[in-house]
Structure 1
Amino acid sequence: MKHSPLVQGLIDAFTCLPGVGPRSAQRMAYHLLERNREGGGHLAEALTSAMEGVRQCSRCRNFAERDLCPICLDSRRDQSQVCVVSSPADVLAIEHSGEYRGRYFVLLGQLSPIDGMGPRQIGLDQLEQQIQAGDISEIILATGTTVEGEATAHYILEMVHGTAVTVSRIAQGVPMGGDLEFVDGATLAHAFRGRRPV
């Protein structure tokens, strides 16, 4: 049995989401059409509003509804300290810690030539302009420990070389409350290399 064009269009639209295949998309479409048309309408309105109203902050590239995001507009934050992260989700995670009071630069990806993600695609030219303008005194690298994350961190380190900007990398290793017996060897090795005096 084939779906009607409108039903098939709805199913196809859901498959654009990460981790949603045709069967999951069909379940979602059927749920909205059978049991929650009001929720479907609300979802459509929210999607339209977000797609039209959310853009990138002109300074840090985080999600924003104006030219600058709320973090960049906050005068109580240290505007010269920049934490470089891969995605807006990373900003949210760091903000939940309550420990960081600087601003961010969101790459919206990581260097990955095989995926067509070069320095310009992740905004490193924009970050370099901010460094050259003298707006930044410290960069904190908070990219992941994947090959792409490490390559991105190394590229930024090379980009900053020869300037007065200090560069640090967030510590990585054993999680709080974790038992060593359950931590993998690579993570433990990284934790030992990153140890500091107490």
Structure 2
Amino acid sequence: EGSLRVDANVSLRADGSDEYGVKTEVKNLNSFSAVERSVVAEAGRQTGILDAGGKIVQETLLWDERDGTLRSMRSKEESHDYRYFPDPDLPPLRFDAERVRLLEAELPELPAQRIIRLMEEHDLDGRDVEVLIATRSLADYFEALVTAVGDAKAAANWVKGPLLKEANRLQVPVDDLGITPGDLG
């Protein structure tokens, strides 16, 4: 039986620049699809930070396959903290601007973007929205419930109250409770 374990490094740089960007490392990826999804997500995260004028922090990230999210495991102050051993058989991957544009178009809505959109579209409090997007499946459930009910505040209260309480009691995700948004609509 074979197994795959990959650590992917992601670093963006501006078009025409010879200077490499700050590198982040996504650890312990166990499938080619996980490598693809995590690298696309991390490239999108870095693009969002750079487009907003921010700086990338050198860190190690963990990919959560279930939620399709990245979590910071630890920050690295200096590159020597990583103890890199260059592999001459693995050249850096370079993407032209068109490929980057195509990859960006395939990115799902990032959590920070979803928070802002939900707050603006539904006039919800930021703390409420952070609870509602704790996982992608919970956020999707909430949005389906808003569509079914037609009232975002009522849907938010229902999800944050009885549904999450029952899901926590049973230790299952909300979408495994057997109650669809249509049932509540």
Q: TM-score, normalised by structure 2?
A: 0.28
- In our comparison, the structure showing a higher alpha carbon Rg is 1
Q: TM-score, normalised by structure 1?
A: 0.27
